[in-house]
Amino acid sequence: DAGVTQSPTHLIKTRGQQVTLRCSPKSGHDTVSWYQQALGQGPQFIFQYYEEEERQRGNFPDRFSGHQFPNYSSELNVNALLLGDSALYLCASSLGASPEAFFGQGTRLTVV
Amino acid sequence: QKEVEQNSGPLSVPEGAIASLNCTYSDRGSQSFFWYRQYSGKSPELIMFIYSNGDKEDGRFTAQLNKASQYVSLLIRDSQPSDSATYLCAVPDRGSTLGRLYFGRGTQLTVWP
């Protein structure tokens, strides 16, 4: 049973650039959530996708956008990167309304 | 906005001791609570969840919930060096139809041999 997979695992980008992160949910899961985790902090909710729609959004600017595909996989896009966007980006999958979420290994984004 | 508070530690215990990790939350109506373990540089791993007042035991781990005091804790018995990690407390968003989680900052635990 494949767990949650994310790609890439590490990424270095320059300030002002754009980045796309990818996530495949755990088999059987249909809901994908994205979190940002800064060093020494807990994960912060960015947004959540269900049935290919953004269902809920945290306190993040419009530079952060996403998409969910018919196979439930998802992308997180960040435009106009800032140094402060450097963090571990986590994808979590769950089934419907269940709060029991399983995380992928994360993408470490460094903005220089 | 929900508040989930954890003592960031670090908490240091000797091998074989009981480690006690605490979490308080602001939403009195919260019904379920999750504990995640996160090794350095890795992603969070779900280790325990609890819905009812009282204790829930799973191997060396015991979660304790006191809804009246808005307090949930995680006890790790017979602590091992491999338990050294950051432990995150998470509370689902009761107001949404889908499972958004609010996390605390995490408590860093070190178990020394």
What local confidence, expressed as pLDDT, does residue B67 receive? Answer: 85
What local confidence, expressed as pLDDT, does residue B98 receive? Answer: 59
For chain A, report the end-to-end CA distance as a whole number of angstroms. 37
Q: Is there a cis peptide before residue B10, judged by omega within 30 degrees of 0?
A: yes
Mean pLDDT by 10 residues, chain A (112 residues): 90 98 95 95 94 92 97 97 97 86 95 98
* Shortest alpha-carbon distance between residue A40 and chain B (Å): 7
DSSP-derived pairing of the beta strands A87-94 and A31-37: antiparallel
Please state, rounded to an integer, the average pLDDT across all residues of chain B: 90
Contacts of B41 (CB under 8 A, 6+ apart): none
What local confidence, expressed as pLDDT, does residue A98 receive? Answer: 79
Residue with tokens 């602590």: B79
- Minimum CA–CA partner of A97 in chain B: B98
Regions of chain B where pLDDT drops below 50: none
- B→A contacts (Cβ < 8 Å), by residue, are 4, 6, 8, 32, 34, 36, 42-46, 49, 88, 90, 92-93, 96-106
Question: What is chain A's percent helix, strand, coil content, to nearest 5?
Answer: 5, 50, 45
DSSP result, B65-95: EETTTTEEEEEESS--GGG-EEEEEEEE-TT
**In this structure, what token pair is assigned to residue B46?**
């779900």
What local confidence, expressed as pLDDT, does residue B1 receive? Answer: 62
